[in-house]
Amino acid sequence: MRIALLPVLLLAAASLCGSPSLRAAEEKPVLDLGAADAPQRFTPSSGTIAAASASPGVEITVQPGAEAYPGVSLKPAEEFFDFAAFGYVEAKITNPGTQLLVVNLRADNLSPLGGFWNSDSAKIPPGETRPIRLYFSKPVNGFRADRITRLLFFVGKIDGTARSFRIDSIVTGGAPGELAPNAEVRTVPQDGVLYAEGAAVDPAQLSGKNNGAMSFQSGTLRAVLPATAGKDALSLFRPAAGAWNLRYYLEVRVVVENAGSQPVTPSARLESQFGPSDTVAAAAPLAPGAKTEIVIPFAALVPWKGGAEAGKAGSVEGSGSAFASNVVQGVALSAASQAQSESQERVLKVVSIRAFLPEAPAIPEWVGKKPPGDGDWVKTFDDEFDGTEVDASKWSVAGENWYDKVSHYSKENVTVSGGLLHIRYEKKTGFHNDDPTRYQTDYATGFLETFDKWAQRYGYFECRIKLSKAPGLWPAFWLMPNRSGPEKKGVRGSTSDGGMEFDVMEHLAIWGPYRYNIAMHWDGYGKDHRSAGSKIYFQPDKDGFVTAGLLWTPGSAIYYANGREVLRLESPRVASVPEMMMFTLPSGGWDGNVLDPQNPQLPDECVVDYVRCWQRRDLASDADTTKIDGAK
């Protein structure tokens, strides 16, 4: 049987170039570098740089100085360079000197919000010429090839003697959307099938570690562990190229048969760009000729746990997982012999490898009704969104967008209807916070926070939320410090001096519908910044929602997803100041999570069913907005 594969997200450049839908434009000069006035088109970044004619181009000379990135800029004759019809801009650079030189090429967009830029570089040996090709498809949120305001050519700080480089040519070429030849391939397997008996196998898919090996002969895939292989030997089955993108699944099932002559206990794990999954062993030894299925969950078998040194040494050993389901690099198999001496070859015939989405587990009865911890709990905040507008006594819908440079906040993008809160992201030009004196962007989103309206130190915080799905979106439910006092918001909201950012649920669309992050940040965001957290895998309830909760008590922060504990930090450094709640829906973030202009899938929204908070009576204090009778 032939296994069809569906490439998504990033495709191999070779296949892109061969597609009839992508027609590469002929290379076109950006500037005639042989023209007499060509040197004058380059603007030096300081007085230590000079541009001069030099056959066949323009030579840039950089004198020693304090400037960190000296160079020149080339601006268009009109407002923008419009390179939308091309896939890249390329400059050929010659190093006429006697030392290796690194030259950078950068393309800038400028807006009232700041700059978006895309860049690449080349190491150029003495006396040689190298191209620097900058592909516009490189994932940079907000970058537009049709609105390039300048091209920058620069080097690093120069000490000692002057250095120079010659720009021999600058051209545009390629097809729109073309990827670099080394662009990563992420493949979504059809029906989750990574391998099925009888399927063709590329030799590049066969690998091993520590004397383990994977073989494919006569149509049979085998994991082979020689007699000389130790207990740490692994047989690896990899994607034909790049990585598998398994973001639409939550486990992989591996069926193996003992093809050896002695009983063995097979085990399996998944390899990813950011780390492996847990290793899962068969429940019992496998007799020769017998088969078994090993189920490898993406979620950590032991939830992440951090101690007093969290953020410095990471999680407690054996807890949590760094596994990333959207960049799976292989399936690793091993087999432990039941004999006292593993002196014989161990062989597993691989019958099938397939990703699955299991049935959703039942949600505990307590979720939404009370906190998971013991004690005398009092509900202190409850918004069921049963009205027709946002409750202004609880929430503000205006604030600063520190999270992306392409979106503005609008009260029109935060609505209440049908017992639900809707936070909508859409392509709509407008002013930030609906204020004509603020900046303008092409994308609108919503924002909510309880700053100076409601805050609490300690307690249980829970929301039921349905996540947005459009590429590039970044929904989050989180807490930030909200100290009382006359100081500015930035001071009162500092994560230093007992403050902490609690990211109860933070999701990037690129991860798919079954994963989000939990994180904590403290001691500012500069050189003293500390953090801890982990990837969380979950399954939405029957209505498509996830219930995310934080149980925060002195020295402890315990997180829940649909009633299941997924992360715990126990440390004296856990926050000890009042915190407010926030919902944000910007775009971007990290991990290549960017808006897709070719397939925007907008407008989209995240939907909140409720927000409920409780306080344990013995932890209540004057710092809490909601006062509890009889509290200490």
Please report the DSSP string for 521-590 in residue order: EES-SSTT-EEEEEEEE----TTS-EEEEEEEETTEEEEEETTEEEEEEE-TTS--S-EEEEEE--B--S
| Angle CA 437–442–445, to nearest 5 | 85
- Cα 226 to chain center, whole Å? 39
Q: Which two tokens stand for residue 129?
A: 């010429």
Does residue 342 have a pLDDT over 80? no
Query: Which CATH number applies to 377-619: 3.90.550.10, 1.10.357.10, 2.60.120.200, 3.30.1490.190?
Result: 2.60.120.200
Query: Would you call 171 helix, strand, or coil by DSSP?
Result: strand
Q: How many helices (H) and strands (E) does the chain have?
A: 2, 42
Does residue 632 have a pLDDT over 70? no
- Of the candidate ranges 334-348, 515-529, 534-548, the one whose mean pLDDT is the lowest: 334-348
Exposure letters 540-549 (e unless 16+ CB within 10 A, then b) = bbeeebbbbb
Segment 581-591 mean pLDDT: 93
Q: What is the dihedral of CA 585, 589, 593, 594, to 10 degrees?
A: 70
The percent of residues above 90 in pLDDT, for the chain, comes to 75
* Domain boundaries of the chain, sorted by first residue: 23-174, 186-356, 377-619
Does residue 24 have a pLDDT over 70? no
pLDDT bin (cut points 50, 70, 90) of residue 9 is very low
| Angle CA 455–390–367, to nearest 5 | 60
Cβ atoms < 10 Å from Cβ of 349: 17
* Closest residue by Cα to residue 251 from 361, 358, 360: 358
Q: What is the pLDDT of residue 486?
A: 87
- Cα 209 to chain center, whole Å? 28
Q: What is the pLDDT of residue 373?
A: 86
Q: What is the pLDDT of residue 577?
A: 97
Segment 591-595 mean pLDDT: 85
Query: Would you call 205 helix, strand, or coil by DSSP?
Result: helix
DSSP strand pairing (57-62 vs 49-54): antiparallel
Q: What is the pLDDT of residue 311?
A: 47
Residue pair 176/32 in contact (Cβ under 8 Å)? The answer is: no
What fold characterizes domain 23-174? Jelly Rolls (2.60.120)
Report pTM: 0.79
Query: Taking the domain 186-356, which CATH number applies?
Result: 2.60.120.430
DSSP strand pairing (459-466 vs 604-616): antiparallel
Segment 298-317 mean pLDDT: 76
- Of the candidate ranges 442-446, 489-493, 564-568, 620-624, the one whose mean pLDDT is the lowest: 489-493
Q: How many residues does the chain have?
A: 632
Segment 250-254 mean pLDDT: 98
Does residue 274 have a pLDDT over 60? yes
Amino acid at 626: T
- Residue reference for tokens 């403050």: 499
Domain 23-174 and domain 186-356 have a common topology: yes
Q: Using CA atoms, how far apart are residues 245 and 70, in angstroms rounded to an integer?
A: 41
Segment 302-326 mean pLDDT: 79
Q: What does the pLDDT look like over 358-395, one tens digit per residue?
A: 999 999 999 999 999 899 999 999 999 999 999 999 99
Q: Which two tokens stand for residue 249?
A: 């699944």
Q: What is the pLDDT of residue 506?
A: 98
Q: What is the pLDDT of residue 490?
A: 86
Q: Using CA atoms, how far apart are residues 541 and 362, in angstroms rounded to an integer?
A: 8
Does residue 604 have a pLDDT over 70? yes
Q: Which two tokens stand for residue 109?
A: 């967009």
If one compares 382 and 528, the residue with the highest pLDDT of the two is 382
Q: What is the pLDDT of residue 118?
A: 82
Segment 289-315 mean pLDDT: 83
Exposure letters 364-399 (e unless 16+ CB within 10 A, then b) = eeebeeebeeeeebbebbebebeeeebeeebbbbbb
Q: What does the pLDDT look like over 218-227, one tens digit per residue?
A: 999 999 998 8
Residue pair 398/430 in contact (Cβ under 8 Å)? The answer is: no
The percent of residues above 70 in pLDDT, for the chain, comes to 91
Q: What is the mean pLDDT of the chain?
A: 90
